[in-house]
Structure 1
Amino acid sequence: MAIVRDTSFVDHLPQNVAVQFLDRVAKSPEVEAFRFPVGTAWESVTWRQAGRQVERLAAGLLALGLQAEERVGIASGTRYEWILADLAVMCAGGATTTVYPSTNGDDVAYILADSGSRVVFAEDAEQVAKLVAFREQLPDVVRVVTFEKVDAPDAPEGWVVGLEQLASEGEAYLAEHPGAVEEVARGIAPDALATLIYTSGTTGRPKGVRLLHRSWVYEGEAIRVQDILHEDDLQFLWLPMAHAFGKVLLSAQLACGFATAIDGRVDKIIDNLAVVRPTFMGAAPRIFEKAYARIVTMTESEGGAKKKIFDQAFKVGMAVDELKRAGKPVPLPLKLQHGLFDKLVFAKVRERFGGRVKFFISGSAALNADIANWFHAAGILILEGYGMTENAAGASVNHPDDYKIGTVGPALPGTEIKIGEGDEVLLRGPHIMAGYHNLPEETAKALDADGWLHTGDKGALDADGHLRITGRIKDLFKTSGGKYIAPPAIEAKFKAICPLVSQFMVFGNERNFVVALITIDPDAATAWAAENDMAGASYTDVVRSERMRAVIGEYVEELNGKLNRWETIKKWDILDHDLSIESGELTPSLKVKRNVVEDRNKERIDAFYQ
């Protein structure tokens, strides 16, 4: 059943993000807004308390002379202070420039200089050290404000201060200019610059995407009017706030009023879900792949009756799902089996994620449909969505009452989607960027005269308006035999088959057959080693062992049985390390930098064809 979505709200959006936040504080003053870890415990603040903290910091920025749309950098991982800083920048009329904490010093200096940032919020000593080292390239930066206590003896006196120092300066400013923050906030135009997000490009310097206030308030309101999230929901937020996906979830929070538990430590996600017990969470597909692999490998290692029950449970769960999606009744014997397995198996899977999740939202890369179906059989709904930094992250998303696994859902209300030349997905709406910062030629390539954003993604719309992404145009390659290959589709299939894999990368442009490079998930490698008489062996020894190669070889053969002849993997190898953000082989949103991996392994790939 398709949902009829009212788009009239687009004509009545909040004026800007600052007003959206102030209105939420006024509407829900005593309701929980945020919770965050302090040591081993979690602390909570209400909207009123958060509002007061933001007002003091915003006034501190005004005291520093921040002018309308002037940029303020935030170089930090995801934490409560990041959100405070971002909201303070909005309320002071400035524009946030996001900087991933893993960005090297040279690129940090480039981003801050290119954006013209005047103030920088820095998480810790590591981030401050980058700023001090490249200070000569940052003449516009008048103040660095740290989230943690930092000693910076090499910085000019007063250049680096703590968050509380800025807040104290804000208090003094408010004493002389009461109401100044709200006055500034109410004067920000909808088309004023709100955010500069620098895309983590795989080649060259990153490009600054100019996103306006109307982009973010639209995203939040488009989620609110669908009536899927409410004030009594609880989000768990770990996504990088320097990424558009994280930012759009903050916009949704301001619009809907739910509370958010924040902890950006990726290695703590599963543990935190069990403690926080959220009702929803946004994540990249890699998180679901890892959770799936961990559960499957643990069950396989236990073996015996537990594995038989587990396998039968998912066989029944998949059968029930298939009948329901086809609109057919579930026979009573199958229904009874499903009820039993729900108690024995599926409830335990759901409990790993806190037991209260209504749905997950998956974005930033393609989610394999087999993995989505596996979670669905366990009673966990993953709603896949689609968007990019250039359209403030959200263009389409599946709805709890209108979803099709394998698609990225229908357009958000108020968003237009059409398929252009070469099956390219085109987007138009209030969320489209104003352009790339200082790059008019690049802007002209991305935005046409009619306001359509050319995404570079191939896709198709079905009869119900659900969008299916079939690949990234630039990722497609053609073999020397003239056959087109879509690497992401093959790679996703392997991840659904092999619970040991971390990354599976396909190559073969202008070659006569397709090859692959494989990395093994470190956690999975450790567990596998313990079960295969290699406990205590190094990661490299485990993944390069003949036994591991034999196991992976069986999975590759299984994959090849699901592919067209010209797509099959003829040769492959296992790398001696997993890809990481730190190594420069993954973007901070966990996407593989394919060209970096290919360049670093050129000799290995060439050897496949010799």
Structure 2
Amino acid sequence: MDVRRSFDILPYQLAEFAKTDALAAKINGQWSPLSTQQVQNQANLVSLGLRALGLQRGDKVALISMNRPEWLLADFGIAQIGAISVPMYPSITVEDYKYIFTDAGVKAVFVSDAKLFHKVQEATAGLAIPAENVFTFDKVDGARHFSELLALGQQGNPADLEPLKAAVEPDDLLTLIYTSGTTGQPKGVMLSHDNLLSNCRNSKQFVPVGPQDKALSFLPLCHIFERMVTYIYMMSGVSIYYAESLETVAENLREVKPEIFTTVPRLLEKVFDRIVSKGHEQTGLKHKLFFWALNLGLKYDTQKDQGFVYNTELAVANKLIFSKWREALGGNLRCIVSGGGALQPRLARVFWAAGIRVMEGYGLTETSPVIAVNGYERENNMIGTVGPLINNMEVKIAPDGEILTRSASVMKGYYNKPELTAETIDADGWLHTGDIGELINGRFLKITDRKKEMFKTSGGKYIAPQVIEGKLKEEPLIEQAMVVGANKKYAAALVIPSFPDLKAWCKRHGVSDASNEELVRNERVVKLYNGLVANCNKSFAQWEQVKKIALLPELWTVETGEMTPTMKVKRKVITEKNKDLIEGLF
């Protein structure tokens, strides 16, 4: 059976490997599964319910929720009638919701809980979205519950959906994804069924899973990366279990024992830092063994067999130390797919050494998303790169180093923004990614920086801030960093300590406990961080080195406006908020 439209995934899974636990979520402390047949039936009820409300082909329906089965039921239900889903981050502002509802012309909204329902109420005030077209997945006072939509659907006939489904073409618009970006208003990326499914078909071979496997899902489904991987899971017969929240991921991994999950680098960094801090708590022989194994792991190389002695030592380390890491991640984990940002090579090395294969990939919302991904086999995985290109993907490097790409996965354009579309996709169909990179050995793509984020010092030297920031964040005591210095004599950085780790360091070194504000002004702490930065500087040329730093007491977050929902720093916002502090560094 051919999967030509997103919703064809359901009958395909039903025909090839009907699951008893196609999707599962924890309800009242118990994992509650939905079978493939139940998913198909409920998606049909969503479609019929939306039709009963008067929604037509081409209408836009917003989806605002953390990951749960209802997200997928709504997604497929919207698509089956030829309507267009507009997934949105639960963490964005009321102003952003209002802008997107208006720009997209949203006619109905699915929202998960009471908090988000009230945000949506505020955002829809004065807009032409009827209150009866807003449905909540949780029961919320004063709101229509998802079950009411399903009940509406039960009054219809599933046979009536067949002509509606048949009318949907692979090139029709499936979804409108508004990317926050680090500047300006959100842009609506138009992706067709074929954009997304061509990316699934060409990435599927890289994902080593099948009908016997389970995945834990916690990256937001409104992000194209998790949604595309979800479609691959379903086309491969993988059971999908939804984590209760980001806080419970560790616990849910132990309960579900998945073979795979996808993540962003920041989460892996936190897992690694937690493991290392536990290593520091060990004493005597256990402490020595832990750091011997860790140092062994940091030397791991997928592209090189390091000989009998190294391999023997690694086998011992795996038995004594790394087996406990695997157990903490559920015990069955075969691989982790990492995307959405640059992964520190040391993390890939140490997880591979521990028998957990990390597959770092790269792409954009505009490319549905994958352009390249490191494979599960060593020969297709080069640490420090984002891997070989997926099938049917063209890439060329422009004279200025920018990565250009062309494929069936490239978006139809930006909604209501023809000029911006023409700027991004040239007359020959090449999408300009805005990233700088190179091909290693003619095969492995390596990203070196964002074109727009590179800056020039007053001495005329170019600095790539992301690379330096990545190096700084390798230090467990550094949580966040942003390099500054455009048109200045040298580079400087705003640095935010990892306060739990810093407080543990203070305890060990006799520095009295204090508030974050007091700690960042403490002479010994300032001296410590200057030393950490000086150590990182050894990796860089003279003109790239960070000459001065300012320590900040508060983390940058999505809620306070300094981070995008995908955890990228909003440089303009941070620069504006810390204008005087930055000036003082020069």
Query: Normalization by structure 1: what TM-score?
Result: 0.91
Match of 1:308 in 2: 288
Match of 1:414 in 2: 392
Match of 2:50 in 1: 61
Deviation at 1:213, TM superposition (A): 0.5
Deviation at 1:57, TM superposition (A): 1.3
Cα distance in 2, alignment partners of residues 512 and 224 from structure 1: 48
Match of 1:235 in 2: 215
Cα distance in 2, alignment partners of residues 13 and 407 from structure 1: 34
Q: Is the 8 A contact 2:175 2:191 kept in 1?
A: yes
Match of 1:467 among 431, 436, 445: 445
Match of 2:585 in 1: 608
Q: Cα gap change, 1:549/1:40 in structure 2, threshold over 3 Å: closer, same or farther?
A: farther
Q: Deviations over 1:221-275 (max 9, x none)?
A: 2233446221222111111111111211122123212111112622222222222
The yes-or-no answer on 1:398 pairing with 2:374 is yes
The yes-or-no answer on 1:200 pairing with 2:176 is no
Cα distance in 2, alignment partners of residues 264 and 502 from structure 1: 25
Q: Is the 8 A contact 2:294 2:350 kept in 1?
A: yes
The yes-or-no answer on 1:147 pairing with 2:137 is yes
Q: Is the 8 A contact 2:182 2:569 kept in 1?
A: no
Mean CA deviation greater in 550-559 or 253-262: 550-559
Q: Is the 8 A contact 1:77 1:264 kept in 2?
A: no
Q: For 2:156, what is the secondary structure of its paired residue?
A: helix
Letter in 2 for 1:554: G
Q: Cα gap change, 1:441/1:489 in structure 2, threshold over 3 Å: closer, same or farther?
A: same
1:10-159 map, 5 Å: 14-141=3-130, 143-152=133-142
1:275-354 map, 5 Å: 275-319=255-299, 321-322=300-301, 325-327=303-305, 329-331=307-309, 334-354=310-330
Deviation at 1:539, TM superposition (A): 4.2
Query: Normalization by structure 2: what TM-score?
Result: 0.95
The RMSD of aligned alpha carbons is 2.1
Cα distance in 2, alignment partners of residues 217 and 336 from structure 1: 43
Match of 2:194 in 1: 214
Q: Is the 8 A contact 1:17 1:90 kept in 2?
A: yes
Q: Deviations over 1:269-307 (max 9, x none)?
A: 222222222111111111111111121122224344332
1:452-463 map, 5 Å: 452-463=430-441
Q: Cα gap change, 1:203/1:48 in structure 2, threshold over 3 Å: closer, same or farther?
A: same
Letter in 2 for 1:260: I
The yes-or-no answer on 1:590 pairing with 2:567 is yes
Q: Cα gap change, 1:537/1:182 in structure 2, threshold over 3 Å: closer, same or farther?
A: farther
Q: For 2:527, what is the secondary structure of its paired residue?
A: helix
Match of 1:162 among 124, 145, 150: 145
Q: Is the 8 A contact 1:301 1:531 kept in 2?
A: no
Mean CA deviation greater in 45-54 or 508-517: 45-54
Unaligned runs of 5+ in 2: none
Letter in 2 for 1:447: I
Q: Deviations over 1:427-459 (max 9, x none)?
A: 111111100000110010011111111101111
Letter in 2 for 1:173: G
Match of 2:477 in 1: 500
The yes-or-no answer on 1:172 pairing with 2:161 is no
Deviation at 1:532, TM superposition (A): 5.4
Q: For 2:400, what is the secondary structure of its paired residue?
A: helix
Letter in 2 for 1:95: I
Cα distance in 2, alignment partners of residues 267 and 490 from structure 1: 29
Match of 2:467 in 1: 489
Match of 1:435 in 2: 413
The yes-or-no answer on 1:356 pairing with 2:354 is no
Cα distance in 1, alignment partners of residues 500 and 110 from structure 2: 34
Task: State the identity as a percent.
Answer: 34
Cα distance in 2, alignment partners of residues 397 and 49 from structure 1: 33
Deviation at 1:355, TM superposition (A): 2.0
Q: Cα gap change, 1:406/1:173 in structure 2, threshold over 3 Å: closer, same or farther?
A: same
Match of 1:181 in 2: 161
Q: Cα gap change, 1:306/1:550 in structure 2, threshold over 3 Å: closer, same or farther?
A: farther
Deviation at 1:55, TM superposition (A): 1.4
Mean CA deviation greater in 182-191 or 201-210: 182-191
Q: Is the 8 A contact 2:6 2:197 kept in 1?
A: yes
Letter in 1 for 2:81: A
Q: Is the 8 A contact 1:15 1:188 kept in 2?
A: no
Cα distance in 2, alignment partners of residues 230 and 453 from structure 1: 33
Q: For 1:32, what is the secondary structure of its paired residue?
A: coil
Deviation at 1:530, TM superposition (A): 5.4
Q: Is the 8 A contact 1:237 1:264 kept in 2?
A: no
Q: Is the 8 A contact 1:525 1:539 kept in 2?
A: no
Q: For 2:171, what is the secondary structure of its paired residue?
A: coil
Q: For 1:422, what is the secondary structure of its paired residue?
A: coil
Q: Is the 8 A contact 1:362 1:385 kept in 2?
A: yes
Letter in 2 for 1:456: G
Deviation at 1:187, TM superposition (A): 2.4
Q: Is the 8 A contact 1:31 1:46 kept in 2?
A: yes
Cα distance in 2, alignment partners of residues 529 and 90 from structure 1: 55
Unaligned runs of 5+ in 1: 1-11, 153-159
Deviation at 1:318, TM superposition (A): 4.3
Match of 2:344 in 1: 368
Deviation at 1:17, TM superposition (A): 0.4
Cα distance in 1, alignment partners of residues 439 and 228 from structure 2: 24
Q: For 1:578, what is the secondary structure of its paired residue?
A: coil
Match of 2:230 among 250, 253, 266: 250
